[in-house]
């Protein structure tokens, strides 16, 4: 009986263990609940909630292809004829195309906090374009002095951070276009809107903007500045001053550039005024803009700028060697004016025009047509006329140019 009881007990134990293992093998863990992407329509089309957070994210951008042609290199490029130069030494300068392919990526992340909307935004541009270069100069008249530039076109790749900033409750800090330019909403709705410049672009900036909610806005910005201009220095130590291109607007002390503006917007349009102080050259500039919504289809604007600009007599001969240095007032002379409009012909087509004129008697007229071939894909042909832009010899010059843009937005 003892042996029989032992065998029966052992068998029961084996069955129990086997049953436990079998039960363990078929137990399946409960799946984690799936959180599908939710649309976030608080900030407009394209935003969605990042899973597991209350942050709304928008991924967007565009792919663009530009083609430019023009007289004397305007919008197009100038390049010497390589075959003529190598075969018989003749310097034949030809006009050729300007081209650029760009892929732009934008990320916009926003979250509501007790201090307002917290926003992080950046745009990165990936470019492949044709740049104007210069091989140097040669002596074309045989007097022993190099007198003719040898322009050429080269293609290159570049990656540029167009914008990268953080916003919270009206404050903005980061890299973007200058407040002096953005507060008046740039210029017209054409592509080449800055052939007569209306303000600087890239800069480090710290801003505060106030929106009263009734159309009144105001803001102030502290900026680092950047940008090149021609200055005179004795670069080769021969006692003679030479023109060199240098970054002359980036801060050289702890005093920042300052820009501030006020504006009012209503159903009929709006008016804005912005002023800037260049702390490097201790110069001021001011700009005002008026927008009018004439009809549902037609909108018009006019903008004017004024600046002070000291002259610098570097060599002491009584003649100004450098003038027009002003980070904010980068147009020619003391003043400039811009005007134009946009007429919406149909849901797919709009016509845009802009004219501008400055104190140096430079005149620019630009017109284009935006045509949306299919949703998200726009083709924009543009024509430009320039009068009285000084050429290398200091003579007045008239130029026509053409520009064609293909852009797929997403």
DSSP 69-121: EEGGGSSSEEEE-HHHHHHH----EEEE-EEEEEEEEEEEEEEEETTEEEEEE
Higher-scoring residue by pLDDT: 192, 321: 192
* Rounded CA separation 163/119 (Å): 13
Over the stretch 202-252, which tens digit does the pLDDT of each residue have?
A: 999 999 999 999 999 999 999 999 988 777 666 666 666 666 778 899 999
* Rounded CA separation 87/95 (Å): 20
pLDDT attached to residue 99? 95
pLDDT attached to residue 151? 81
pLDDT attached to residue 21? 46
| Mean pLDDT over each residue of the chain, to the nearest integer | 87
Which string of DSSP letters, residue by residue, matches 227-270?
-EEEEEE-TTSSSS-EEEEEE-SS-SSSPPEEEEEEEEEETTEE
* Rounded CA separation 144/193 (Å): 42
The residue ranges of every structural domain in the chain are 170-332
User: Cα dihedral angle (2, 3, 5, 9), rounded to 10 degrees?
Assistant: 130
Q: Which two tokens stand for residue 330?
A: 């980068």
pLDDT at 72 over 80: no
Higher-scoring residue by pLDDT: 2, 366: 366
Q: Which two tokens stand for residue 234?
A: 């004795």
Mean pLDDT of the 261-286 span: 97
Question: How large a percentage of the chain has pLDDT more than 70?
Answer: 81
- Specify the DSSP element, H or E, that contains 209: strand 202-211
- Residue 390 · residue 217 · CB < 8 Å: no
Over the stretch 73-132, which tens digit does the pLDDT of each residue have?
A: 778 888 888 888 778 877 788 889 999 999 999 999 999 999 999 999 999 999 999 887
Q: Which residues contact 250 (CB under 8 A, 6 or more apart)?
A: 224, 225, 226, 227, 280
Q: Which residues contact 37 (CB under 8 A, 6 or more apart)?
A: 48, 49, 51
pLDDT attached to residue 247? 87
Mean pLDDT of the 57-78 span: 91
pLDDT attached to residue 295? 96
Alpha-carbon radius of gyration of the chain: 31
* Rounded CA separation 147/384 (Å): 30
**288: closest CA among 300, 276, 304, 267?**
304
Q: Which residues contact 226 (CB under 8 A, 6 or more apart)?
A: 200, 202, 203, 247, 249, 250
* Rounded CA separation 273/292 (Å): 15
pLDDT attached to residue 215? 97
- Residue 359 · residue 341 · CB < 8 Å: no
Mean pLDDT of the 274-302 span: 97
- Specify the DSSP element, H or E, that contains 398: strand 396-409
Mean pLDDT of the 162-170 span: 97
- Residue 271 · residue 263 · CB < 8 Å: yes
pLDDT attached to residue 89? 73
What is the number of alpha carbons within 13 Å of residue 45 lying toward its C-beta?
A: 2
Mean pLDDT of the 326-332 span: 95
* Rounded CA separation 100/68 (Å): 9
| DSSP reduced 3-state for 392 | coil
- Residue 366 · residue 190 · CB < 8 Å: yes
User: Cα dihedral angle (162, 165, 167, 170), rounded to 10 degrees?
Assistant: -70
pLDDT attached to residue 257? 98
Quick one: pLDDT band at residue 396, thresholds 50, 70, 90?
Answer: low
What does residue 390 show for φ and ψ, rounded to 5 degrees? -70, 135
What does residue 235 show for φ and ψ, rounded to 5 degrees? -70, -30
Over the stretch 349-370, which tens digit does the pLDDT of each residue have?
A: 999 999 999 999 999 999 999 9
Query: Any idea what the Cα angle at residue 379 is, between residues 376 and 384, rounded to 5°?
Result: 140
Mean pLDDT of the 328-341 span: 96
Between 44-48, 175-179, 397-401, the lowest mean confidence (pLDDT) is in 397-401
pLDDT at 10 over 70: no
pLDDT attached to residue 152? 82
Q: Which two tokens stand for residue 376?
A: 């998200």
């Amino acid at each position: 009986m003892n042996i029989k009881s032992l065998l029966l007990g052992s068998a029961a134990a084996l069955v129990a263990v086997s049953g436990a293992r079998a039960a363990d093998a078929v137990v399946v863990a409960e799946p984690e609940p799936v959180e599908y992407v939710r649309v976030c329509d608080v900030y407009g089309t394209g935003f969605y909630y990042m899973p597991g957070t209350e942050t709304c994210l928008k991924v967007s951008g565009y792919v663009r292809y530009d083609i430019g042609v023009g007289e004397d290199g305007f919008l197009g490029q100038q390049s010497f004829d390589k075959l003529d130069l190598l075969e018989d030494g003749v310097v034949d300068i030809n006009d050729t195309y300007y081209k650029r392919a760009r892929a732009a990526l934008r990320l916009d992340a926003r979250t509501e906090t007790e201090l307002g909307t917290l926003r992080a935004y950046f745009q990165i541009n990936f470019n492949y374009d044709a740049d104007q270069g210069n091989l140097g100069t040669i002596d074309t008249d045989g007097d022993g002095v190099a007198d003719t530039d040898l322009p050429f076109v080269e293609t290159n790749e570049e990656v540029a951070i167009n914008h990268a900033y953080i916003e919270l409750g009206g404050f903005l800090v980061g890299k973007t276009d200058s407040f002096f330019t953005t507060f008046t909403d740039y210029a017209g709705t054409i592509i080449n809107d800055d052939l007569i410049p209306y303000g600087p672009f890239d800069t480090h900036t710290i801003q505060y903007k106030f929106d009263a909610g009734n159309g009144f806005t105001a803001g102030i910005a502290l900026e680092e500045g950047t940008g090149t201009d021609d200055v005179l220095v004795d670069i080769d130590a021969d006692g003679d001053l030479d023109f060199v291109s240098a970054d002359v607007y980036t801060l050289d002390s702890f005093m920042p550039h300052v820009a501030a503006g006020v504006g009012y917007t209503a159903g009929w349009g709006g008016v804005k005024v912005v002023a800037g102080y260049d702390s490097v050259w201790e110069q001021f500039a001011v700009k005002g803009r008026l927008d009018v919504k004439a009809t549902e289809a037609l909108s018009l604007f006019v903008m004017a700028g004024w600046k002070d600009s000291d002259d610098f007599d570097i060599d002491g001969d009584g003649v100004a060697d450098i003038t027009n240095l002003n980070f904010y007032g980068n147009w020619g002379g003391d003043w400039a004016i811009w005007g134009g409009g946009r007429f919406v012909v149909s849901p797919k087509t709009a016509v845009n025009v802009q004219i501008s004129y400055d104190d140096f008697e430079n005149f620019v007229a630009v017109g284009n047509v935006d045509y949306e071939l299919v949703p998200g894909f726009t083709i924009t042909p543009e024509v430009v006329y320039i009068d009285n832009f000084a050429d290398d010899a200091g003579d007045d010059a008239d130029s026509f140019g053409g520009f064609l843009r293909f852009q797929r937005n997403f």
